[in-house]
């Protein structure tokens, strides 16, 4: 059976000129700003215009564009190689090209009889996976004979092994600075979203605990923290900044590991590598190390292939009430 694999991700601007429309698309998503239109549209116009200069400077530090598409293309190519010719791996970005409608057209043109929806977000959130899946179902209603969904995979063994392998590289260097603290940093969310039943925070905790178990380091000092906060609302915590302040007080080196990002992009390459590194130096933290995202690590790609082979394998206790894998045929 010809099966199209749709890889979902956030997307990122391909040029400095694309930053403002990218931000508009982001903030005009009802999953991000829940206000009805035209209020949401007006808010998106205002926020994107206000944030565009800051965001352009961030992407200027990355060479004038987001690296996310190229990283996702590498992941897609690696997965395609592993799966073979009966599958076609396509990319559907949420807020910038290539959008889901392009992936839908390509899947139809290829003659796909079945699609498997595979978000590159290990942990489910209504603001990420939920938004992408809802958009896909609106676009692709009744387009294929069978649709399967992998809604979340926070403790998928290949993912966990890949994360642990990336952390071990930094651990081997950091132990020369004494006993380091491992900080799992994830993108934050407003507390109000979690209070509505979003399983993201709980699944981040599951991922971190699974990686710690995989590392097998006796008496490992570790914590979970959240980055990228925007706006005045209360967000889940502690923040990554707060954890760096705590590490400074405790006079311990830190290894910061992305636990919800599977690719390198502005939140890792600028926020973690530049901004938080500078903060760590300013605070006098003995040493600052950053574990790489899993990207196209063979264990991670093999894990994705395993999920394609059994899309229901990741279901179970990890899934929350708002996960969208339930009821799929």
Distance of CA 108 to the CA centre of its chain: 27
Are the C-beta atoms of residues 298 and 163 closer than 8 Å to each other?
no
| CA pair distance 277, 23, nearest whole angstrom | 26
Cα angle: 149, vertex 111, 12; to 5 degrees: 55
The annotation status of 187 as a binding-site residue, yes or no, is: yes
Cα angle: 272, vertex 276, 277; to 5 degrees: 95
Task: Extract the tokens encoding 78.
Answer: 């690696």
DSSP 198-261: --HHHHHHHHHHHHHHHH--TT-EEEEEEE---SSS-B-S-BHHHHHHHHHHHT--EEEEESS-
Order of strands across the sheet with 254-258? 221-227, 181-187, 254-258, 288-290
The annotation status of 297 as a binding-site residue, yes or no, is: no
- What's the residue count for the chain? 329
Largest distance between two CA atoms of the chain = 60
Binding residues, as ranges, are 187, 267
Binding residues for Fe(2+), as ranges, are 187, 267
């Amino acid at each position: 059976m010809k099966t199209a694999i749709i890889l979902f991700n956030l997307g990122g601007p391909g040029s400095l000129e694309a930053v403002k429309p990218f931000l508009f698309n982001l903030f005009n998503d009802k999953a991000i700003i829940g206000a009805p239109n035209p209020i949401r549209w007006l808010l998106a116009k205002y926020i994107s215009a206000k944030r565009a200069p800051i965001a352009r400077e961030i992407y200027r530090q990355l060479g004038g564009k987001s690296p996310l598409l190229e990283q996702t293309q590498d992941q897609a190519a690696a997965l395609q190689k592993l799966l073979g010719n009966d599958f076609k791996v396509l990319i559907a970005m949420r807020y910038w090209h290539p959008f889901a409608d392009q992936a839908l057209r390509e899947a139809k043109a290829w003659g796909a009889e079945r699609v498997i929806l595979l978000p590159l977000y290990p942990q489910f959130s209504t603001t990420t996976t939920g938004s992408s899946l809802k958009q896909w179902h609106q676009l692709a209603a009744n387009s294929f004979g069978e649709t399967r969904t992998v809604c979340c995979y926070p403790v998928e063994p290949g993912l966990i092994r890949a994360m642990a392998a990336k952390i071990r590289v930094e651990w081997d260097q950091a132990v020369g600075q004494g006993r380091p603290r491992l900080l799992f940093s994830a993108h934050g969310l407003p507390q109000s979203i979690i209070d509505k039943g979003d399983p993201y925070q709980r699944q981040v905790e599951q991922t971190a605990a699974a990686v710690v178990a995989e590392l097998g380091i006796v008496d490992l000092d570790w914590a979970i923290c959240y980055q990228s906060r925007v706006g005045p609302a209360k967000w889940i915590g502690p923040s990554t900044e707060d954890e760096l302040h705590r590490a400074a007080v405790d006079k311990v080196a830190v290894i910061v590991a992305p636990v919800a990002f599977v690719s390198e992009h502005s939140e890792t390459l600028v926020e973690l590598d530049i901004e938080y590194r500078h903060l760590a130096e300013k605070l006098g933290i003995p040493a600052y190390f950053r574990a790489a995202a899993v990207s196209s690590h063979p264990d991670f790609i093999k894990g994705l292939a395993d999920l394609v082979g059994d899309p229901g394998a990741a279901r179970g206790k990890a899934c929350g009430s708002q996960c969208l894998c339930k009821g799929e045929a």
